[in-house]
């Protein structure tokens, strides 16, 4: 995992924390939503992840005229044999970059739901499995809302984590300027793991031990979101399971075979902030920021097991 994170940090410099959380999400078997302004490395991070993991990759540019069949594929008629065959769409890759996901209408956005939830595509009475391991990395611009369709709650809930990269530190930007014209780090990345190893690592992480006290701690945090006066809708049971899965994967960074409260606190905000509905009229990134603050406050108040 350290080598994988280091490779991502070569491509997206100065974002070690986000690289580690992205790897954590992938090991936990989840999907990632990168919400940030253009030009901070969201697409580069997704491409670097595919290269470092040795995964097949496709990039889908979401636009207002994109149709579900442009993602899933379609039945093609062959006149010679008078038969139809299914031509796979770009979703049939191990890592799919859904770029500017909120630019497409809800009908097109929902084309990803079955694949994200069950790893398969159903069409015309037939079902095709997606290649394993399957991961979606989606991006959206939180500032330019003209011509966008906000992701519905059901779509947001399919993302294990929501992350923001932010602008790099001044010294990192200066270093990027001095290396301009040299081969990009992305072009030199080699795979440090493969699909089979990734599948095995996911299975190992899912089996890590979680004591009853830690499990109860996660539940108490979730209940605190449901009972908070500023939160209209708190964490669901699926959100609780998401925190548990991410915490198990995060434990691998320290070489542990058990989960600690520290693992839970590290993944709490990335896993829950996009799943909460506030009582205020805040929307978009402002609501996410407020939800993050509320979760950090609850993490300080809810007593962790020793």
Question: Nearest CA to 198 among 8, 25, 33, 26?
Answer: 26
Q: What is the pLDDT of residues 135-149, one digit of tens each?
A: 999 999 876 667 788
Q: What is the pLDDT of residues 1-28, one digit of tens each?
A: 888 888 788 888 888 999 999 999 999 9
Question: Nearest CA to 251 among 305, 210, 219?
Answer: 210
Per CATH, the architecture of 1-190 is what?
Answer: 3-Layer(aba) Sandwich (3.40)
Residue 232 φ/ψ, nearest 5 degrees:
-70, -45
Q: Which pairs from 126-130 meet CB under 8 Å and 24+ separation?
A: 126/86, 128/86, 128/88, 128/92, 130/91, 130/92
Please state which CATH class domain 208-305 belongs to: mainly alpha
> How is the chain split into domains, by residue range?
1-190, 208-305
Residue 30 carries which DSSP code? Answer: -
Q: What is the pLDDT of residue 78?
A: 82
252 prior amide bond cis, ω within 30: no
Spatial distance between the Cα atoms of 109 and 60, rounded to a whole number of angstroms: 11
Q: What is the pLDDT of residue 183?
A: 47
Question: Nearest CA to 24 among 245, 260, 258?
Answer: 245
How far is the first Cα of the chain from the last one, in angstroms, to the nearest whole number?
27
Burial class (CB in 10 A: 0-12, 13-18, 19+), 252: buried
Q: What is the pLDDT of residues 29-39, one digit of tens each?
A: 999 999 988 88
Residues of the chain with pLDDT under 50: 181, 183
């Amino acid at each position: 995992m350290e080598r994988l994170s280091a490779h991502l940090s070569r491509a997206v410099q100065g974002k070690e924390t986000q690289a580690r959380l992205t790897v954590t999400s992938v090991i936990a078997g989840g999907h990632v939503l990168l919400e940030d302004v253009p030009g901070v490395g969201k697409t580069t991070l997704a491409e670097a992840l595919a290269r470092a993991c040795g995964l097949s990759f496709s990039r889908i540019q979401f636009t207002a005229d994109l149709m579900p069949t442009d993602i899933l594929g379609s039945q093609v008629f062959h006149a010679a044999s008078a038969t139809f065959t299914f031509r796979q769409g770009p979703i049939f890759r191990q890592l799919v970059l859904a770029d500017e996901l909120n630019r497409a209408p809800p009908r097109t956005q929902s084309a990803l739901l079955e694949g994200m939830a069950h790893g398969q595509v159903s069409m015309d009475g037939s079902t095709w499995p997606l290649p394993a391991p399957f991961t979606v990395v989606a991006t959206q611009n939180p500032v330019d809302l003209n011509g966008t369709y906000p992701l519905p709650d059901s779509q947001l809930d399919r993302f294990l984590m929501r992350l923001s990269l932010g602008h790099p530190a001044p010294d990192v930007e200066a270093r990027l300027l001095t290396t301009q014209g040299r081969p990009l780090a992305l072009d030199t990345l080699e795979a440090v793991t493969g699909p089979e190893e990734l599948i095995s690592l996911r299975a190992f992480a899912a089996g890590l031990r979680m004591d009853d006290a830690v499990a109860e701690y996660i539940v108490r945090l979730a209940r605190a979101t449901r009972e908070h006066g500023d939160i209209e809708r708190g964490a669901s049971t699926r959100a609780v399971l998401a925190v548990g899965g991410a915490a198990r994967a995060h434990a691998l960074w320290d070489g542990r075979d058990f989960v600690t409260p520290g693992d839970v606190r590290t993944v709490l905000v990335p896993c829950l902030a996009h799943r909460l509905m506030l009582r205020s009229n805040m929307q978009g990134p402002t609501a996410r920021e407020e939800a993050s603050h509320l979760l950090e406050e609850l993490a300080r108040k809810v007593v962790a097991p020793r």
